[in-house]
Amino acid sequence: MNKLIATLIAGLFASAAFAQTPAPATPATKAAPTTAAAKADTKVMKADTKVMKADAKEAKEVVKADEKVEKAAIDANADKATAVAKAKKTKAKAHRKAAKAKAEAKADKADAAIDAKADAAKK
């Protein structure tokens, strides 16, 4: 315990002696490089800010371009769906007309066959 107290007291004396030592005087010539360094740091920070802003702007433009592409794809899909629906409707209409024409042709053929048989029977 005595050693612990002795160590603590020695530490207090050492810290008190260190705290009382005056700071070394800095010459005036070092102030200019510090200012130049600060200016350089400021320029670097401004350049970094410009780079970040440019990156953000580029990212924003990329997102807008992607949205335009997606919108165009959606519009194209909608146009494609409309075209497909119109094509199906047109095909169905054509099939109905063809079926109706075939039915009329069969009926005309049957009438012609009946007329031919009737003419043959009359002779």
Confirm whether 45 is domain-assigned: yes
Model pTM greater than 0.75? no
Domains: count for the chain: 1
Confirm whether 15 is domain-assigned: no
List, for residues 42-93, the tens digit of each pLDDT value.
887 888 888 888 888 888 888 888 888 888 888 888 888 888 888 888 888 8
Confirm whether 90 is domain-assigned: yes
Confirm whether 72 is domain-assigned: yes
Range of the structural domain that residue 77 is part of: 34-122
Task: Report pLDDT for 73.
Answer: 86
Question: Taking all residues of the chain, what is their mean pLDDT, rounded to a whole number?
Answer: 79
Residue 29: pLDDT above 60?
Answer: no
Task: Report pLDDT for 9.
Answer: 84
Task: Report pLDDT for 49.
Answer: 84
HEC letters along the chain: CHHHHHHHHHHHHHHHHHHHCCCCCCCHHHHHHHHHHHHHHHHHHHHHHHHHHHHHHHHHHHHHHHHHHHHHHHHHHHHHHHHHHHHHHHHHHHHHHHHHHHHHHHHHHHHHHHHHHHHHHHC
